[in-house]
Structure 1
C-alpha cells in the first residue's frame, strides 16, 4: 500500500497537482469515481452482476482502480494508514455483529459508544 501511495504522490508532484489534492477535492473525486463504479451495476440483476461479461468486467476493473487511487491518495494526504483503519473498523464490527445474533441477517447493529469501539 505504501508503494502505491508513494507512486501516486510522485505522480501528483510531477504534474504540480498537489495543490489540487486537498482532502475535500480528493473526497469529492472519490465519490464521483464510486458513482461511476455503481453505474456499471445500476440496471443489472443480482445474477448478472455476479457474472460480468469481459467488456463490463474491464470497465469495472478501471473504475475500481480509480476508486482505489483516490482512496489511497486521500489517506496519504491525511496521514491515515488505510490498512490499520480497515483493521480497526473490522475489530469494531466484530464487536458489533455477534455471529450468534446476526448470522444470515442484513439488519444494522446499533453504533457502539466511543469507549466500547476499541479503535479510538
Structure 2
C-alpha cells in the first residue's frame, strides 16, 4: 500500500461487499471512531506504557485509522491535505520560539 487513497479503496471495497454503507453515516462513523479510541486507551489503563500489549495496540489503532479514513471518505476529504493544513495552522499557533520544550496551550505561551 502506498498511500491513504489505497487504504480508503480497500476499506470501501470491504464495506461495500458487506452492504454496510447504510450504517456508515458520518455520525455513526464519528461515534465508532470515538469508541475505538476508548478501546485503545483502555489498553494503557492502570499500566505503564511499556506494559501495554503491542499486538492489541496494533488492532485498536488500525480500527481508529479505518473509521477516520471512512469518515474522511464520506466528506470527500483529502487526508494528506487536511493533515498538512492542520500542521500549518498549529505552526502558527505554536511558534518554535515560544512552544519549544513546553506543553503549554497556545493561549498560555
Q: After TM superposition, is the score higher than 0.5? A: yes
Q: In 2, Cα distance between the equivalents of 1:61 and 1:73?
A: 18
Q: In 2, Cα distance between the equivalents of 1:12 and 1:52?
A: 34
1:70 is matched with 67
* TM-score, with length taken from structure 2: 0.90
Secondary structure, in 3 states, of the residue corresponding to 2:77? coil
2:28 is matched with 25
By how many angstroms is 1:52 displaced? 4.1
- Structure 1 vs Structure 2 CA RMSD: 1.1
By how many angstroms is 1:89 displaced? 0.4
Q: In 2, Cα distance between the equivalents of 1:72 and 1:91?
A: 21
Q: Does 1:79 align with 2:79?
A: no
1:35 is matched with 38
1:88 is matched with 85
* Residue-by-residue CA offset, 1:15-62 (whole Å, 9 max, x unaligned): 1101000000100000000000001112123xxx1x346xx0000010
Structure 1: tracts of 5 or more residues without a match: 111-120
Q: 1:101 aligns with which of 71, 83, 98?
A: 98
What is the number of equivalent residue pairs in this alignment? 104
* Residue-by-residue CA offset, 1:81-105 (whole Å, 9 max, x unaligned): 1111110000011111111111111
Q: In 1, Cα distance between the equivalents of 2:42 and 2:91?
A: 31
